[in-house]
Structure 1
Amino acid sequence: MSFKLQVEELQAWYDDQQVLKGINLSVRANSITAVIGPSGCGKSTFIRCLNRMHEVVPGARVAGRVCIDEVNIYNGISPVEVRRRVGMVFQSPNIFPNMSILHNVVAGLSLNGVRNKKLLEEKAEYCLKQVGLWEEVKDRLHGAAGGLSSGQLQRVCIARALAVEPEVLLMDEPCSALDPIASIRIEELMRELKEKYTIVLVTHNMQQAARVSDYTAFLCQGELIEYGSTPEVFIRPRDRRTENYITGRGDSVAV
C-alpha cells in the first residue's frame, strides 16, 4: 500500500508560540488515520497544515514539508489547488442556512466557475448518494438547508467537500456535535469513503478512533509521541504517555 501524504519535520507557530514541533509521519492511501491527544496538543493545527489553512490565520507560519504523492504542497503549488485536492469537514456543520441543499453541495464548484445547471444537479445527486442522503432530501433539494437535522447537515458538508473531487479528506471532530445515532452513521460513511479517499480524522472519542481508524497518531504538547496501526497503539502502546491517555489513567504528559 502506497503513502498518500508524507509529513517531514512539520513545525507550526501562532506568532511566537510553537504548537507543532517537528512532526514526521506518512499516511497510507485509502486508509483512515486518527489523530488523538489532549486538548491543546496541536491536533487541529496539524490537519490545518495539511491543506494550508493554518497560514490564513494572522501571525501563523509553518516550516517543514507536507507532500501529496511526493509533491511538496508548500513549494510552487497554490493554496487553492491544495484545498481542492485536500478537502476538510469541520467540527460544526458550516452550511449556508438560507441557501438550498443543492447549492450548498455544489458551492465549491460554483465558486470555481462551473455554471452548467445540469452538471451541477448531477454532481449534487452523485455526492448526496455517496453520503447516503439522497433518498432523505431528493424531494426538497431546492429548499433551505437550515431545516435539516445536525447529522444531515454534516453529511451535506461532507458531500460538498466531495463535490470538488479531493484526494484526501480531513475531518476535524466531525461527530462532536452529533447524537450517537448520527455519529454512527458518519462512522459508517467514513468506512465507505476510504475505498476512494484517504481520510485523516481528529477525534477526542477513543472508542470512535478504535472503531473506524486503521492507523492512530498520538500527539502531546505539539510532539508526535506514537504512530502505528490502531490495534498496536491501543492494545500494545510503546510509550507510557500513550497508555495513560488512552486508558484515562493519570497524566498523559507524565512519563
Structure 2
Amino acid sequence: MSYKLRVEALQAWYGQHQVLKGISMPIRANTITAVIGPSGCGKSTFIRCLNRMHEVVPGTRVAGRVWLDGRNIYNGINAVEVRRRVGMVFQTPNIFPAMSIFQNVVAGLYLNGIRGRRQLQERAENCLQQAGLWEEVRDRLHDTAAGLSSGQLQRLCIARALAVEPEILLMDEPCSALDPIASIRIEELMRELKASYTIILVTHNMQQAARVSDYTAYLCDGELVEYESTPEVFIRPKDSRTENYITGRGADTRPL
C-alpha cells in the first residue's frame, strides 16, 4: 500500500510553548487514520500542520517535514496549493449563513476563478451527491443554508471541501456536536469517501475510532505514543499509556 503523506520529526509551537514534539508517521493512501488522545495533547494542532493552517495563527512556528507525494509542503509549495490538496472539515460547521446551499458548496471554486455556471452546477451536484446530501436539498439549492439541520450542515461543509478536488480530507471531531443518528451518517460517509480520498480523523470518541478507522495514532503530551492498525491499537496495544487511555483507566492526561 502506498503512502500519501509522510510526517518526519514534526514540531509545533504557540509562542514559546511547544505543542508537538517530534512526530514521525506515514499516512497510507485511501485509508482512514484516527488520531486520538487526551484533551490538549496536540491532536488538532497536528492535523492543522498537515495543510499549513497552523501558521495562520500569529506567533506560531513549525519545524520538521511533511511529505505530500514526495514533496515537502513546507519547502517550495505554495500554502494555497497545499490547502487545496489537503482539505479540512472543522468541529463546528463553518457555513456562510447568508448564502444559499449552492453558493456555500461552490464558494472555494468561485474564489479560485471558476465562474462558468454549468461547471459550477455540475460540481455542486457531484459534491452534494458524494456528501450524501443531494436528495435532501436538490429542490432548495437556492435557499439559505441556515435552514439545514446540524448533520446536514456538516455534510454541506464536507461537500464544500470536496468541491476544490482535494486529495486528503482532514476532519477535526466532525461529529462532536451531532446526535447519534447524524454521527452514524457521517461515519458511513467517511467509509464511502475513503475509496477516493485519504482521511485523517481527530476524535475523542473511542467507539467511533474503532468503527471507522483503518489505522490509529495515539498522542499524549505532544508525542506520538503508538501508531498501528486500529485492531492492533485497540486489542493489543503495545504501550500501557495507550491501553489506559482506551479503557479509561487513567492515562497521562497532563494538559499542555
Shorter-normalised TM range: over 0.9
Find the counterpart in structure 2 of residue 66 from structure 1. Answer: 66
Is residue 10–residue 24 contact of structure 2 (8 Å, CA) maintained in 1? yes
Deviation at 1:70, TM superposition (A): 1.1
Find the counterpart in structure 1 of residue 193 from structure 2. Answer: 193
- Equivalent residue runs for 1:78-97 within 5 Å: 78-97=78-97
Deviation at 1:117, TM superposition (A): 0.9
Distance in 2 (alpha carbons) for counterparts of 1:27 and 1:175: 22
Find the counterpart in structure 2 of residue 37 from structure 1. Answer: 37
Is residue 173–residue 204 contact of structure 1 (8 Å, CA) maintained in 2? yes
Find the counterpart in structure 1 of residue 217 from structure 2. Answer: 217
Distance in 1 (alpha carbons) for counterparts of 2:253 and 2:177: 27
Distance in 1 (alpha carbons) for counterparts of 2:115 and 2:5: 32
Is residue 34–residue 215 contact of structure 2 (8 Å, CA) maintained in 1? yes
* Residue-pair matches, total: 254
Distance in 1 (alpha carbons) for counterparts of 2:132 and 2:17: 42
Is residue 241–residue 253 contact of structure 1 (8 Å, CA) maintained in 2? no
TM-score, with structure 2 as normaliser: 0.98
Find the counterpart in structure 2 of residue 26 from structure 1. Answer: 26
Structure 1: tracts of 5 or more residues without a match: none
- Equivalent residue runs for 1:106-255 within 5 Å: 106-252=106-252
Per-residue CA deviation, residues 205-255 of structure 1 (Å, 9 max, x unaligned), is 00000000000000000000000000000000000000000000023359x
Q: 1:70 is aligned with what amino acid? A: G
Find the counterpart in structure 1 of residue 77 from structure 2. Answer: 77
Describe the SS at the equivalent of 1:106: helix
Distance in 1 (alpha carbons) for counterparts of 2:214 and 2:62: 27
Find the counterpart in structure 2 of residue 13 from structure 1. Answer: 13
RMSD: 0.8
Is residue 242–residue 252 contact of structure 1 (8 Å, CA) maintained in 2? no
Q: Structure 1's 251 and 143: CA in aligned 2 closer, same or farther, altered over 3 A? A: same
Distance in 1 (alpha carbons) for counterparts of 2:114 and 2:251: 51
Distance in 1 (alpha carbons) for counterparts of 2:24 and 2:202: 17
Describe the SS at the equivalent of 1:174: coil
> Percent identity among equivalent residues?
80
Describe the SS at the equivalent of 1:58: coil
Describe the SS at the equivalent of 2:233: helix
Describe the SS at the equivalent of 1:19: strand
Describe the SS at the equivalent of 2:181: helix
Describe the SS at the equivalent of 1:115: coil
Distance in 2 (alpha carbons) for counterparts of 1:175 and 1:239: 28
Deviation at 1:186, TM superposition (A): 0.1
Distance in 2 (alpha carbons) for counterparts of 1:116 and 1:29: 32
Distance in 2 (alpha carbons) for counterparts of 1:157 and 1:101: 10
Distance in 1 (alpha carbons) for counterparts of 2:15 and 2:98: 36
Q: 2:10 is aligned with what amino acid? A: L
